[in-house]
Homo-oligomer: A and B are copies of this chain.
Amino acid sequence: MGTILWLALTIGAVWMGPPAAAVREGDVGGRTPFDYVDPFIGTGGEGHTFPGATVPWGMVQLSPETDAPSFRGGFRWCAGYQYGDTSILGFAHTHFSGTGHSDLGDVLLMPTTGPLKLDPGSKDDPDAGYRSRFSHDQESAEPGYYSVVLQDYGIKAELTATTRIGVHRYTFERGGPAHVILDLVSSIYNYDGKILWSQLRVENQTTVTGYRETRGWAPHRTVYFAIEFSKPFASYGVVNEAPEVYKGFGPPGPRFENYPDVGGRKLKAYFDFAPAPGGTIEVKVAISSVGIDGALKNLRAEVPGWDFDLVRAAAKRAWTEALSTIVVDGTTKEKRIFYTAAYHTMLAPVTYMDVDGRYRGLDGDVHRADGFTNYHIFSLWDTYRAEHPLLSITQPERDGEMIRSMLAHQQQSVHHILPIWSFGSNETWCMIGYHAVAVIADAYLKGIRNFDAEAAFEAMRASATYAPYGGLGAYMTYGYVPIDLEVEGASKTLEYAYDDWTIARMARALGKEGDYRTFMARAANFRHIYDPKTGFMRAKKTDGTFNEPFDPIYAQYGSDYTEGNAWQYTWYVPQDVQGLIDLMGGRATFVEKLDQLFVVKGDESKYKQVEDISGLIGQYAHGNEPSQHIAYLYDYAGAPWKTQARVHQIMNHLFDDTPEGISGNEDCGQMSAWYIFSSMGFYPVTPGSGQYAIGTPALPKAVIHLPTGRTFTIEARNLSPENMYIQSATLDGAPYARSYLRHEDIVKGGTLVFEMGPTPNTAWASAPEDAPYSMSAR
Contacts and interface: CB of A to CB of B under 8 A. Distances in A.
Interface in A169-207: 191-194, 196-197, 199, 201-203
A329 interface: no
Contacts of A291: 364-366
A248 B263 contact: no
Interface in A291-321: 291-293
Interface residues of A, number: 46
A361 to B, nearest CB: 9
Interface string A709-737: 00000000000000000000000000000
Nearest to A189: B246
A214 to B, nearest CB: 10
Contact of A246 (B194, B414, B430): B194
A217 B430 contact: no
A245 interface: yes
Task: Pick the most buried of A196, A251, A430: most chain B CB atoms within 10 A of its CB.
Answer: A196
A156 to B, nearest CB: 33
A30 interface: no
A364 B211 CA distance: 10
Copies of this chain: 2
A250 interface: yes
Given A197-B220, A201-B363, A220-B263, A71 B246 contact: yes
Nearest to A214: B246
A245 B193 contact: yes
Contacts of A550: none
Contact of A248 (B201, B219, B260, B293): B219
Contacts of A364: 199, 211, 291-292
A213 interface: yes
Interface string A211-223: 1010111011000
Interface in A622-680: none
Given A260-B414, A261-B415, A429 B249 contact: yes
A627 B706 CA distance: 82
B220 A199 contact: yes
B202 A414 contact: yes
Interface in A278-293: 291-293
A3 interface: no
Nearest to A413: B261
A464 to B, nearest CB: 18
Contacts of A259: 468
A192 B292 contact: no
Given A215-B246, A261-B415, A292-B363, 11 more contacts: A193-B246, A194-B245, A196-B197, A196-B213, A197-B215, A199-B220, A201-B414, A202-B414, A216-B246, A261-B414, A366-B366
